[in-house]
Structure 1
């Protein structure tokens, strides 16, 4: 919003006339004196005060410090970044590096910009300038961030949002049905007895994904830990989509 300066505007005074006596020998002539603060003299500064007022737009960067458990997808959704996590990654590639999944707590990312209006001088802003400033300020009101509960319901919903951003099919019911069959909803479940385990690659997490499958179908922007609930669900659904068309088509061991 434009800053309101402390100032005084000159008061327009009516044309002031006085009479002075000028000696002309023995007679006195009455001469009119026009005051310096007359209406004509005040008109120009008053007009200038309104014309000189201008709003100077300034752009400020909005930053975010990465916290434990954050992913680019989660940060992009929280700050309503246009273009999802990919846009966020491109804007911060110099900070993040070549692997968009490798973000660590304490990293400072630029998540957007906002505009502010400041007065070019200390004259009182006109009505038009005030309305323009208010309009600009209203455009930077932050959108409410989407949050998820830290339970199976929240993990599935967050994963579905990530899947939607990456064109991966699947429904809540399809994911829930397979999670309950594979792990009973335990994100730390691990199979240490089947053939995969015997080969040194035990199935892990909510949808019991082995390491090679998780690595191949991992979705950028999610955690690299196969036990991470959202990363596990999303990678498994990505694999199921490639092999079966959708996790909804999986009704048994896959």
Structure 2
């Protein structure tokens, strides 16, 4: 008969234990069995811990792109799914997003493994860079600011010179200014009512004293049709002088 041994009371555990009895040729083995409903029991492989995160609203900031937002928020489906979820806000062009735009972010993707290879990150960075480049290419270039001129003799001459340069009409600031001071003393409304042209009903007028038939024949497109308009008067007179004398710079007297 086996000697009586000392028996210890097993320590209590948070796990519910059962007893299994197995025959071993006369001996009895007592085996602990983990209860199926024990607190903290491991979940079966393949199950997801906890419910999926609810959708939320994200406000776009400067420098954002759909791929960047999708990556930083671990969105399942990437930027394409983000675009599909926000098609009504983004319209037909997913690349064009702007600060202040509100986007709905869907459920978060399952957690990625701890160890990541460098390849997916590099691929995402290339996609993000490509998207930014495509966005810049799609945006129209800003129109150059329109040049402004002062509303005086200096401004009228400079504006006329820019128009003449576009039309291939020769002339310099000094040549124009010299002839203006001789013809009208810089008065854009000056009119000659006493010479032969005036007697014929076509008085010379404006800064460079141009008669109407000459103004009409040598008018430069894009300028006013008013013979008293300073810029139109100068450019028409310089166009006429270029045709007859080679340049307004070659005019040093009545022309």
Q: TM-score scaled by structure 2?
A: 0.55
Q: How does 1:131-146 map to 2 (within 5 A)?
A: 131-132=132-133, 135=136, 140-146=141-147
Matched residues in 2 for 1:168 and 1:57: separation? 48
Matched residues in 2 for 1:49 and 1:122: separation? 14
Distance 1:32 1:247, change over 3 A: same
Q: Which residue of 2 aligns with 1:35?
A: 47
* 1:57–1:117 Cα contact (<8 Å) kept: no
Does 1:122 pair with 2:134? no
Matched residues in 1 for 2:150 and 2:179: separation? 20
Does 1:48 pair with 2:77? yes
Distance 1:36 1:240, change over 3 A: same
Q: Which residue of 2 aligns with 1:21?
A: none
Matched residues in 2 for 1:187 and 1:152: separation? 9
- 1:137: how far off? 9.0
For residues 204-254 of structure 1, give each alpha carbon's deviation from its aligned partner in whole angstroms, at most 9, with x where no partner exists: 000000000000000111000000000000000000011111101111100
- 1:193: how far off? 0.2
Q: Which residue of 2 aligns with 1:221?
A: 222
For residues 34-75 of structure 1, give each alpha carbon's deviation from its aligned partner in whole angstroms, at most 9, with x where no partner exists: 43458xxxx9x83413344568787xxxxxxxxxxxxxxxxx
Larger RCO (CA within 8 A; separation ≥ 6): 1
- The count of residues paired between Structure 1 and Structure 2 equals 169
Matched residues in 1 for 2:92 and 2:204: separation? 55
Structure with more strand by fraction:
1
Distance 1:52 1:121, change over 3 A: farther
Structure 1 or 2, whichever has the larger Rg, is 2
Matched residues in 1 for 2:207 and 2:187: separation? 6
- What's the C-alpha RMSD, in Å, of the aligned pairs? 3.9
- 1:138: how far off? 8.0
Distance 1:133 1:180, change over 3 A: same
Unaligned runs of 5+ in 2: 1-32, 37-41, 51-70, 84-89, 106-123
Q: Which residue of 2 aligns with 1:195?
A: 196
Q: Which residue of 2 aligns with 1:150?
A: 151
- 1:146: how far off? 1.1
* 1:57–1:118 Cα contact (<8 Å) kept: no
Q: TM-score scaled by structure 1?
A: 0.55
